[in-house]
Amino acid sequence: MHSTIRFPAVVAAAGIGSRMAADKPKQYLSIAGKTVLEHTLETLHQHPNIGDIVVVVHPEDAYFQSLPLATAPWLTTVIGGKERADSVLAGLKTLNNDGWVLVHDAARPCISHQDIDRLLAIYSEGIGGILATPVRDTMKRASIQTPAQIAHSEDREGLWHALTPQFFPRQHLIEALEQCLEKGLNITDEASAMEQTQQPVKLVEGAASNIKITRPADLALAEFYLSRREM
């Protein structure tokens, strides 16, 4: 999709990233001379159909303002909330836009422009959606009594790994998130809020290289993907 339409994006960057066992949040760890967050933001900004970007940071973030792109005119910073849904909601409300918006994880620097094109193509269908990959591995359910043991295998037919960006009409997503937060529902991504409010969500197959950095080994894998990709 390379029309003249430009969509805003919200980047959730308020996480702590405790599983990385690092001295700073994972979005500020370095890959090939840049932070994870810089790779993510620059890739989004360079896409011809993405306009203004809102990055949501932790209230006690001590790193963002030191980044070279912190003062970029296409970037707005907002303080996040207690949960992801609160943070995304803060980002969405910062935008002055009645159209559609992308929401992306700061820790997914390997997103490709081709995948963004495929996701944005659903705009003409009027149904929001997410990038996702079909589950290919055998899925095991751990025992509740003994978590280190298998209770049974799960049928992987129809199962998908949810990725980001996720792409929805801004006002519909705001309303869905607000309703779910008011009811105390568990919202793990934007699509789950839309699902809870009975709104259709389309699955758009994306590349498995669009990994989320959560553990130390992911940094080397992300560097490999970034070194080989073409936008």
- Confidence at 29, pLDDT banded by 50, 70, 90: very high
Full domain range(s) for residue 62 = 7-132+162-228
Mean pLDDT in the chain?
92
H helix intervals, the chain:
36-45, 84-94, 113-120, 170-183, 190-196, 216-228
Higher pLDDT pick, 17 / 202: 202
The answer to the question of residue 146 being in a domain is no
Length of the chain: 231
Residue type, 204: V
The answer to the question of residue 182 being in a domain is yes
pLDDT of res. 230:
65
How many structural domains comprise the chain? 1
Rounded mean pLDDT of 200-207? 97
The answer to the question of residue 217 being in a domain is yes
The answer to the question of residue 155 being in a domain is no
Question: What are the structure tokens assigned to 57, written together?
Answer: 């940071």
Question: What are the structure tokens assigned to 73, written together?
Answer: 């005119």
Q: Assign 219 to helix, strand or coil.
A: helix
Rounded mean pLDDT of 190-199? 96
pTM for the whole structure? 0.92
Question: What are the structure tokens assigned to 157, written together?
Answer: 């037919």
The answer to the question of residue 2 being in a domain is no
The answer to the question of residue 153 being in a domain is no
**Partner residues linked to 54 by β-bridges:** 10, 76
Q: Assign 11 to helix, strand or coil.
A: strand
pLDDT of res. 97:
80
Cβ–Cβ contacts within 10 Å for residue 114, how many? 13
Tens of pLDDT, residues 113-163? 999 999 999 999 999 999 999 999 888 888 888 888 898 888 788 899 999
The CATH code of the domain that includes 99 is: 3.90.550.10
Residue type, 99: G
The answer to the question of residue 53 being in a domain is yes
* pLDDT at 89 > cutoff 90: yes
The answer to the question of residue 116 being in a domain is yes
User: Using CB atoms within 10 A of its CB, is residue 83 exposed (0-12), middle (13-18) or buried (19+)?
Assistant: middle
